[in-house]
Amino acid sequence: MPAPPDAEALSPDVSLVASDAYSHKGLTYPLGRRAPEAGELIALADGVGWARLPIPGSLKHINVWVLEDGDGVALVDTGLNIPDCRAAWDALFDGPLAGRRVSRLIVTHFHPDHLGLAGWLTERFGVALWMTRGEWLFARMLSADVRDAPPREAIASMRAAGWSEARIAEEQMKGWGRFAAMMSPVPVSFVRIRDGDTLRIGARDWRIVGGCGHSPEHACLWDQTAGLLIAGDQVLPRISSNVSLSLSEPEADPLGDWLDSIATLHTLPEDLLVLPSHGEPFTGLHARLDALDYGHRDRLDALHRRLAEPARAVDCFATLFARKIEDNMLGLATGEAMAHLRRLEVEGRATREVRDGVFWYRAA
């Protein structure tokens, strides 16, 4: 049914004036430091709304997007399956989205802050989940893999990275299946989207631009006519997305895939308004892609120098990261270090030797 007459239209917010804008490190933030409060929807362009959900940890939030879709609205990304995120959605549905029909749910990739409430939202509104096949399959696989103890492959990978036996024992006590704990049930069916597809959503055409490295088959949405890019985690303004070597595919090259994806995104226009999952909307796409590319290649060169002496993944943290790695970040840091070491192997700049199950790397 059409929106009721008193429903808030997703048209640009006239209170967002040019004087709010500022520039930093080659990027311009047209809305300044303005960001949605709880239950608020900021209209960025006709039919494109921005909301923000709280999540724990250093990220603090995830941005979600509301797109006019005929007589309803399409939602892009969901937040974690936690009470704070569900309450934030309730505030939106009781406030600016009151009376609006939800037409479909689109998810950029499988990570729980993006997909965690997909089951809750699709069941609540009786709509389909739209995402790429690789992301949906990965989510279904991980959410189904719940065990009392980590699989032997996980233990072997911790040992290979140089974790202490005491730290491995701690992980064994935690069981296996934390992914499922952050998710509402992943829908058993979905509508597949893929790189190069064009989705007609309301009056806009959004082209799917695929990415890889941060996740298997990430989907960005590009409105070429209006110059908008819903970037998910493929382009973030202030931080670099985690790129980790996956337990599922230990001989892959995720950092190589990530660098290739940066090159693909570099073919898009420079003047797009980028709508990231974390941080504020910005312009300066090419400058940000250049910085991301340079940052990883610079760390690869530094790591290559470090490997003049044999090293394990855990020995490389000081070279790769600008802060001390605490226990709660050990898994992410290990995955990122292994991805960089694997990239050096693929480039022929490092070799790997296995001693008692531990991987030792040396510059080639």
- Give the chain's mean pLDDT: 94
Mean pLDDT lowest for which of 4-8, 20-24, 95-99, 186-190?
4-8
2 or 81, which is more confident: 81
Secondary structure, 3-state, 134-183: HHHHHHHHHHHCCECCCCHHHHHHHHHHCCCHHHHHHHHHCCECHHHHCC
User: In angstroms, rounded to a whole number, what is the distance separating the alpha carbons of residues 109 and 180?
Assistant: 15
**Exposed/middle/buried for 153, CB within 10 Å: 0-12, 13-18, 19+?**
exposed
Q: What is the largest CA-CA distance in the chain?
A: 70
Amino acid at position 344, single letter: L
Environment class of 59 (CB within 10 Å of its CB; exposed 0-12, middle 13-18, buried 19+):
middle
Percent of the chain having pLDDT more than 70?
Answer: 95
Buried b / exposed e across 224-237, counting CB within 10 Å, b at 16+?
Answer: eebebbbbbbbbbb
Q: Point out which residues pair with 48 in neighbouring strands.
A: 45, 67
| Segment 232-256, tens digit of pLDDT | 999 999 999 999 999 999 999 999 9
- pLDDT bin (cut points 50, 70, 90) of residue 184 is very high
- Burial (Cβ within 10 Å: 0-12, 13-18, ≥19) of residue 214: buried
* Strand 101-106 versus strand 72-76 pairing type: parallel
b/e per residue, 83-116, with b = 16+ CB within 10 A?
eebbebbebbbeebbeebebbbbbbbbbbbbbbb
Residue 222 has pLDDT above 80, yes or no: yes
Measure the CA–CA gap between 61 and 315, rounded to whole angstroms.
Answer: 31
Question: For the whole prediction, is pTM greater than 0.85?
Answer: yes
Q: Taken in order 263, 269, 275, 280, is the CA torsion positive or negative?
A: positive
pLDDT, tens digit, 9 for 90 and up, residues 85-131: 999 999 999 999 999 999 999 999 999 999 999 999 999 999 999 99
Long-range contacts of 144-148 (CB under 8 A, 24+ apart): 144/180, 145/176, 145/177, 145/179, 145/180, 146/175, 146/176, 146/177, 146/180, 147/175, 147/176, 147/177, 148/175, 148/176
Instruction: Give the position of tokens 């992301």.
Output: 135
Residue 51 to residues 19, 61, 62, 88, 125, Cα–Cα distance (Å) = 22, 10, 9, 9, 19
pLDDT tops 60 at residue 2: no
- Each residue's pLDDT tens digit, 13-50: 544 545 589 999 999 999 999 999 999 999 999 999 99
Tell me how far apart the alpha carbons of residues 266 and 268 are, in angstroms, rounded to a whole number: 5
Pick the CATH number of 18-307 from 3.10.420.10, 3.60.15.10, 3.40.50.300, 3.40.50.12780: 3.60.15.10
Residue identified by tokens 């689109």 is: 106
Pairing of strands 191-192, 129-131: parallel
**pLDDT at residue 322, rounded to an integer:** 85
pLDDT, position 12? 60
Quick one: which H or E segment has residue 273? strand 273-276
Bigger pLDDT: 159 or 6?
159
Q: What tokens does 17 get?
A: 């004036």
Residue type at 335? G
362 — pLDDT class (breaks 50, 70, 90):
very high
> Does residue 275 sit in helix, strand or coil?
strand
**pLDDT at residue 7 greater than cutoff 80:** no
Residue 337: what residue type? A
Q: What is the pLDDT of residue 50?
A: 98
